Structure 1
Amino acid sequence: MQVRDFMIHQVVTVKQSTTIKELISILETNRIGSVPVVDDKENLIGIISDGDIVRFLSPHKEKIYLSYYISYVDEAEKIEDVLREKMNTTIENIMVKKNIKTLAPDDDFESAIREISNHHFKKIPVVNGAGRVIGIISRGDIIHNLSKTIFDDITPTHP
């Protein structure tokens, strides 16, 4: 079985100009945790997840600055202030851009399992030879496919 046989074909993608606020809405509306970031030709240029958003929006604890002549304390940030300040930030600077693992539609099922398990990814984009995103594989897709394989191979015997 090849990746094309069980990948999700209707992939939600975003552009690097997408704001955090827009991204949160897209993830929530589609009930997904990450999306590939593509350019105008649908070529993969990055990936961004709900974890990237949480880390970016996490308020900082108070900081103490000490120097020879002066010391001061920055107050801990409040989530309301962080949200007000960062919601219109584009995802360009927080998306993952390097070492993005992908699969090809002709890769086999074992390759998909290996990539997801070796790198602890939740999802992996599927790209064609031109680098365009044409699908996505998730852990859930792997489990669903394993379930079909296991239970389709078991045939009940009747006396």
Structure 2
Amino acid sequence: MKVRDFMIKDVLTVNQNAPLSEVLQLFVAKRINGAPVVDADGKLTGMVSDGDILRYINPTRQTVYDMFSYVFVSPPEELAEALAYKVETPAKKIMKKNVQSVSPEQDLEEALGILAKHHFKKLPVVNEKKEVVGVISRGDLLKQIAGRLNELNAKTVSR
């Protein structure tokens, strides 16, 4: 079995210069939890997930600075304050940059191995030009595998 047989071909991507507000709107509107990040030519530059966003917008706690025998204490930040200045941050500043990817022609077992080893939820599928042509997600793979198991069971029962 090949990656191309299981990948989602109608993949949603995020432009690396898209502001956080746009990424959030996409995730909520399309009910997704991550997406490949691409440059203007559609080439993979990273991955951004809901977890990356939450970690980024997480308000800072109270911080203590000790400078030249003076102690400064910053007040804790509120979520509204954090969002106010973080909402225009481009995706390329939030994304994971060193991402694994697979090609459509790779064996599915290789993709499963990468997903399992690195605990990824999604894996971008790229062509030889590093353009995103699909994505493989754990949930979609499980659905496909369960469907194929059902088909095999039905064939076994009918014999």
Q: Quickly name the TM-score band, shorter chain normalised.
A: over 0.9
Unaligned ranges ≥5, structure 1:
none
Shift of residue 68 of structure 1?
A: 4.6
Shift >3 Å, 4+ stretches? none
Q: 1:76 to 1:110 in 2, by over 3 A?
A: same
* Residue number in structure 2 paired with 1:50: 50
Shift of residue 41 of structure 1?
A: 1.5
* 2:73 counterpart SS class: strand
> What is the CA–CA distance in structure 2 between the aligned matches of 1:126 and 1:67, rounded to whole Å?
49
Shift of residue 133 of structure 1?
A: 0.4
Q: CA-to-partner distance for each residue in 1:104-134, whole Å, 9 max, x for gaps? A: 1011221121111111000000001111100
Higher-helix-fraction structure: 2
* 2:28 counterpart SS class: helix
Q: Once the two structures are aligned, what percentage of the paired residues are identical?
A: 36
Deviating more after overlay: 11-20 vs 148-157: 148-157
* Residue number in structure 2 paired with 1:144: 143
* Residue number in structure 2 paired with 1:63: 63
> What is the CA–CA distance in structure 2 between the aligned matches of 1:53 and 1:79, rounded to whole Å?
13
What amino acid does structure 1 have at the position aligned with 2:8? Answer: I
CA contact (8 A) 2:12 2:36 kept: yes
> What is the CA–CA distance in structure 1 between the aligned matches of 2:38 and 2:62, rounded to whole Å?
37
2:108 corresponds to 1:109: yes
Q: 1:31 to 1:69 in 2, by over 3 A?
A: same
> What is the CA–CA distance in structure 2 between the aligned matches of 1:90 and 1:106, rounded to whole Å?
32
User: TM-score if structure 1 supplies the norm length?
Assistant: 0.93
* Residue number in structure 2 paired with 1:91: 91
Q: 1:154 to 1:92 in 2, by over 3 A?
A: same
Unaligned ranges ≥5, structure 2:
none
- Cα root mean square deviation, aligned: 1.6
CA contact (8 A) 2:14 2:91 kept: no
